[in-house]
Structure 1
């Protein structure tokens, strides 16, 4: 029937909604066009606005126009992102709902001008457009364009019976004696009870709660990143507040705990972060002191990897002196020692059997790591990661607060005697040749590059490997010294007995993006076409996995120097090239079409933001305009590193892809009161006092707090090291714990913490932003099992066996403050049921 001359309330309301949406979309779209972006949004806004106006004047042509708009939008979306459901959905679902709403008879019928016969003609195209869009959604739901299926051809059952590749370390197969499993940092458990066939039967064996929860006066970035050790029948762990705890490995019952009662003159709230990644273990029977002084081996001349001499591989012997009576007494006092780094910059030696301080070590069982490094803001220097133990030495580095000033503590590496704690050698990147112990009143070079992550140790060759950070600040390098330029953002190899430089290889030149080498390098004997080579594998934030001969520092997998963008801030410069490994997880260059959002509106915001930033591809320098940094300083790989099965020659990794923004703020535009407004390591304004700029660093998020670049943001991946190729790669994890509604959408989420791999052919990961521990088949990445965790699991798990031979997987679930995962204090062991 013909219209009665009056709009129904529903039609009027629909018209107003369409008009408002159209105006907002057209205005935003016009701004995007001005930034040389897509014309789609201004055209879409005009079409929606006109639809609303046609509704307002009671014209059935509104339905025809919106049908045309939905058809065109669907085609545009497919052209931009092909058949990727998770990119198509945000572009189309709002328009689909509006079309369905418009098709409801009470919305469009009766109040519109025109004969009744035109009603069907108006509805049919709109219904067809709706059906087309729905069919596109259903069809693409089963498409997985970002997954890379594949399979590594190994016989899991047969390989499980091969000799333990870590047997040369002299450690029991059921133990996990170092942060990385062993000093080789392979994160490999030579245990085969859990297999791809039975992993689904894993159940909780025991749960322990440490009682250490974040408090109201703790920093935002209070994190539980601990990987426990297992030696004999005991589990050793540390907590964010630097407490050490020993548990029975079979039952999880507490044996002892030690509280160092960390102190701060200003409290902890204004610290950058608080964490303890682990402790270190020393057994005197495995590291006997020499009976007589050994002649000092001549260390190879200092050399870059590109010019390392042929004899750089020559092993050195520990040049420790004859054991003194005092050291003999100290060794008898605590033959089994646990070394605990604390958040107030102490290194404490505990009797691993009782939890009591070893009084003969340092002063009443502790060394003050503040010695000889000069002043710093409380919390601005301490060791967040466990030290390394090599023979009679305990070797420690330290975290230095990023971007606070250009006058921060030294990044010195120090080696202390394990028994009495006296300083044996020090390696300061600012003065690398002076390895003899510093004079009592001396000060190490301020602001030299630091090593905050975990060491790897080749005991056979007498070498220790350092994944290096940078001279602070990260985003402006106009004042960096030649030593800082040489040793930052790479791996340094030292003679472990003397601290003398063996070689170094830099992965990021003149780093302006916080591309610290966060992961502990993995040492493995690699099978290559040239024969077996002693390899070091370093995962990095930029995505390259560098594979070097650990004796010489020369690349095993080719590394190319590729041209990168220039144009640094005033007073600074950029490196003309950057090192890219042939084995890499480097993401492709991001484009405007990669901008994402839950709706077209936040997607439009992200497109405008993208076009407003400087972006010339990877290694775009920070700028006053604001630069897009992708990968961001969260990294493709961070401190979790990678795991390697040394028998099957398989590497398991969990790459992440999150873009960040970096903006330089001239000194005169930074409010004075910002001194109290610290962000976490990955967000907030950094003051960088003493330099021309402060920095604003943040994840590239929409106003709704979701990433602006499209998913997946996190994967699980396998590399066949025999071919040096990525064999398989699958998006990993859901947004169930990140989204406003707890819907387990399988988008693939970032993870912080690393993987482990076992002789049974199963890998494990807990670090995803959703609260799960998962098991994977190393051959193809198939998910075998998952279990819900009571809190965030941003730590690397481990696996061990009890006295009966039963295999366990041990997980720390304590959450991560700056990532917003749920806080907790859980240690959970799983075993087969």
Structure 2
């Protein structure tokens, strides 16, 4: 009987139901009384037999539903009379009996999971996953309990509206919506909660279901967006990889980037860092490559399904970081399925997710030229794209990369644009450097808006479909370290802005740095999460920063959850520079990074080391947060020693958040940077000064400040407090000068955090990658890196897995055929880019 219940939604659609089964109102089954631990079988409660059909890869589409069959005979039988099977999907009888049966079915696999703390629908979903997916992994939808909850709420409203009319033969909204909510690979999707249309007491139509969670597009078992979902949570409710099993992860498959073929054929171009986070939808991974190609990969085998090459590398080296790319975006209306990429070659591309062919209705042959429509003349070579766009309510919203170190006032502005998801037509533009008549233009004195570029969103964006809002983190205007040519606060530089996705109008904004001089971009996807505060549910957005701050707002209106204070900061002594006298400091949560370089901040493993550190920093101007860059030689100093440096703090790796607990997890870097301004000459004279970074090595090659040097902080967003903070990596604990101290982990102290990905949440773990530390031993350094797992509640180190290559991207996870995979993008010592997939056990 358990196997009979282990069926997919496709099986439910074609099941045969007893004509004598009693119809029940939607609320007749009291799930609050269901005991998930009861050792009953479905036969005890289920008066009908749910028979699973033969289903495999042979497809047939009827009335918007794609069916799969294991044999030609089964397929042919269905084709003869598909209306018979569709009719069964509209029956209320099987739905209510199925709920009763599933609520009490017992399966030994479910004993592996502790249901404590789950709501009743979550328990039902848990039972479905742990029992049925285990037995029939090819057939089971990814989100059932949550879908059923949404659908029952709609059904109950319809039942009340029609006074039970649908029980007299009208369409059952639950069954009908389940049918309408099945995507191209048989995954249940969660519809909106609109009320069905009622005519004459009979349900006339059910609104077309939107995929998954109407706000975030969050699907159990899949990874549909760069951050897992549009909320950028980087959270998966899968639990096959957990405290007990993480140590047993083994490589299941490896996929070599198809860029290698291009590099062999074109010696003049070389791919850069391979750092994408792939998506997984319907059994296929979708990834970008360093050359902005798109590849679809079989989720179980790692074999290439198709590749689309927009040849963007022929358009020149992308601005700033060269040939590298972080990912793609997915969208569907339930009928068509699209993968979007904003390429390094300044193209917006739309391809069919099933075939990899460009969409002929989108732009010109599937491509939109992103250099057009910005509205200002600029040097195209200083514009690029390496992060995925985000889709919200049929609008593709795109940020951009802008060259950080210009010598002429020809740098493009970082304006945000929205494009029609079907046609590629530009719908709107939001000018991040406002023009006359636009809000914020007065913050650009002396008409400096005309010659300033940047203020761009080079990292990932987030979206709330329910509100129809997109959340955009913006960077520093040009020049990053000198602003004498751009007096004023300079909105919307270094701001978090909330835009209406349909119109591009500003809803609210927050500027994190006024008149930026430190390259303190908001450079990671904002985390959208609903949290409980003071007994109320708040739709929140959390934005981590390079400064080591976590700003938290009500995402509907921009109101801070805790006060943000304007505090006085040091003044600049650079000729022509007019700093803002104050900068914003959040009162909660506390900073997650060290932010000052006073004597108490210096490394002090031994008195001798501390003495050397004091001598080193005495040559620099140093002090509190927002110490401005300075010119070497003034007052005998080498320049300004700033902490955090331009690499953070937090960087593009960003943060992950658990939507169930409201706990946020952020990796960060403790690395000071010397900011020296050099006077420009000749062609560079427009900016007067440009940056020259200074070295910050400490005593005997140790870091100049106290550990940890790389850390993970867990922040409770419901209270605005740290839950825990731990070092990530051993760091220089075996350095000859301190080896005898037998110190614990100090945190990885290697190269900049700008090249490292972030962490994800699954199975009660926070999972993140880290390059190997320098051991300071006589033995040769081992290549590769480590994948760490930490307990979400305590920060306890659970286990670590060794890799022989170097992970650069943020991992992702998904369920395929009953097996959970962990995938990370890596690069070998020889420069070969790979996706590496791990799973428990071996294939």
TM tier relative to shorter chain: 0.5 to 0.7
2:350 aligns with: 349
Counterparts of 1:492 and 1:269 in 2: how far apart (Å)? 26
The answer to whether the 8 Å contact 1:768/1:794 transfers is no
User: Does 1:196 find its partner at 2:154?
Assistant: no
Provide the residue aligned with 2:445 in structure 1.
none
CA displacement at 1:253 relative to structure 2: 1.1
Q: CA distance change for structure 1 residues 191 and 773 in 2, over 3 Å: closer, same or farther? A: same
What CA distance in whole angstroms lies between the structure 1 residues aligned with 2:258 and 2:650? 30
Partner of 1:252 in structure 2? 302
Shift of residue 389 of structure 1?
Answer: 0.8
Q: Match of 1:394?
A: 396
Question: Paired residue for 2:530, among 513, 525, 548?
Answer: 525
Equivalences for residues 211-360 of structure 1 within 5 A: 211-212=258-259, 222-263=272-313, 268=317, 272-285=321-334, 335-360=336-361
Shift of 1:470: 1.8
The match for 2:47 is none
Give the aligned partner of residue 585 of structure 1. Answer: 592
Partner secondary structure for residue 655 of structure 1: strand
Aligned to 2:664: 651
Partner of 2:234: 187
Could you list the per-position Cα deviations for residues 541-568 of structure 1 after superposition, in whole angstroms to 9, with x for gaps in the alignment? 0011001000110111332222211124
Distance 1:606 1:494 in 2: 47
CA contact (8 A) 1:220 1:273 kept: no
Q: How does 1:551-700 map to 2 (within 5 A)?
A: 551-581=556-586, 582-583=588-589, 584-587=591-594, 589-592=596-599, 594-596=601-603, 607-625=614-632, 626-668=639-681, 690-698=686-694, 700=696
- After superposition, the C-alpha distances for 1:243-285 in whole angstroms (9 at most, x for unaligned) are 21111111111111122223457x6499643321110111132
Partner of 1:728: 724
Partner deviation per Cα, 1:580-638 (whole Å, 9 max, x = no partner)? 22212141532346555999999877544411111122111100021011011111111
Aligned to 2:519: 514
Distance 1:453 1:632, change over 3 A: same
Alignment partner for residue 790 of structure 1, among 780, 804, 829? 804
**1:752-776, CA deviations, whole angstroms, 9 ceiling, x for partnerless residues?**
3211112x21111125565111111
Distance 1:693 1:764, change over 3 A: same
How far apart, in 2, do the equivalents of 1:731 and 1:565 lie? 30
Q: 1:466 aligns with which of 462, 467, 472?
A: 472
Separation in 2, partners of 1:412, 1:735: 40
CA distance in 2, matches of 1:761, 1:419: 39
Judge conservation of contact 1:272–1:379 (CA < 8 Å) in 2: no
Task: Name 2:372's counterpart in structure 1.
Answer: 371
State the distance in 1 between where 2:361 and 2:606 align.
64
Residue by residue over 1:675-731, the C-alpha shift from the partner in whole angstroms, topping out at 9 and shown as x without a partner, is 9xxxxxxxxxxx6x6211121125523597663334321112222233221111111
| Residue of structure 1 in register with 2:225 after alignment | 178
**Could you list the per-position Cα deviations for residues 192-244 of structure 1 after superposition, in whole angstroms to 9, with x for gaps in the alignment?**
22222332222222221115368998899932221111111100111112121
Change (3 A) 1:201 1:444: farther
Shift of 1:167: 4.1
Q: Does 1:754 align with 2:758?
A: yes
Q: Which runs of 5+ in 1 are unaligned?
A: 1-154, 287-334, 436-442, 676-686, 816-820
How far, CA to CA, are the matches of 1:249 and 1:602 in structure 2?
Answer: 51
Q: Do structure 1's residue 429 and structure 2's residue 425 form an aligned pair?
A: no
The question of whether the paired residues in 1 share the 8 Å contact of 2:708 and 2:747 is answered with yes
**Do the aligned residues in 2 keep the contact of 1:754 with 1:767 (CA within 8 Å)?**
no
Aligned mate of 1:713, from 709, 716, 721 = 709
CA distance in 1, matches of 2:733, 2:301: 30
Distance 1:714 1:644 in 2: 19
CA 1:170–1:614: 2 relative to 1, 3 Å? closer
Q: Over the residues paired in the alignment, what is the CA RMSD in angstroms?
A: 3.4
Task: Give me the TM-score of the superposition, normalised by structure 1.
Answer: 0.66
* Cα deviation 1:340-387 (Å, max 9, x = unaligned): 221111111112112222232111211111114455556421111101
In structure 1, the partner of 2:833 is 825
1:535 matched to 2:506? The reply is: no
CA gap of 1:474–1:182, structure 2 versus 1, over 3 A, is same
Structure 2 vs 1, CA of residues 604 and 666 (structure 1 numbering), >3 Å: closer, same or farther? Answer: farther
Q: 2:6 — aligned with what? A: none
Cα distance in 2 between the residues matched to 1:445 and 1:666: 19
In 2, the alpha carbon distance for the partners of 1:721 and 1:827 equals 33
Tell me how far 1:734 sits from its aligned partner.
3.2
Instruction: Between 174-183 and 591-600, report the one with greater CA deviation.
Output: 591-600
Provide, for residues 770-813 of structure 1, a one-character-per-residue CA deviation record: whole Å limited to 9, x for no partner: 511111110111122211223221221111111x2321111111
Tell me which of the two structures has the higher relative contact order, counting C-alpha pairs closer than 8 angstroms and 6 or more residues apart. 1
Q: What does the per-residue CA deviation read over 1:288-324, in whole Å, with 9 as the maximum and x for residues that have no partner? A: xxxxxxxxxxxxxxxxxxxxxxxxxxxxxxxxxxxxx
Q: TM-score, with normalisation over the residues of structure 2?
A: 0.65
- Alignment CA distance shift 1:591-1:747 (3 Å): same
In structure 1, the residue matched to 2:413 is: 410
Classify 1:380/1:769 alpha carbon distance in 2 versus 1 (closer, same or farther; 3 Å): farther
Q: What's the secondary structure of 1:690's corresponding residue?
A: helix
Larger radius of gyration: 1
Judge conservation of contact 1:718–1:780 (CA < 8 Å) in 2: no
Say whether the 8 Å CA contact 1:453–1:639 is kept in structure 2.
yes
The separation in 1 between residues aligned to 2:574 and 2:552, in whole angstroms, is 33
The verdict on how the C-alpha distance between 1:478 and 1:340 changes in structure 2, with shifts beyond 3 A counting, is same
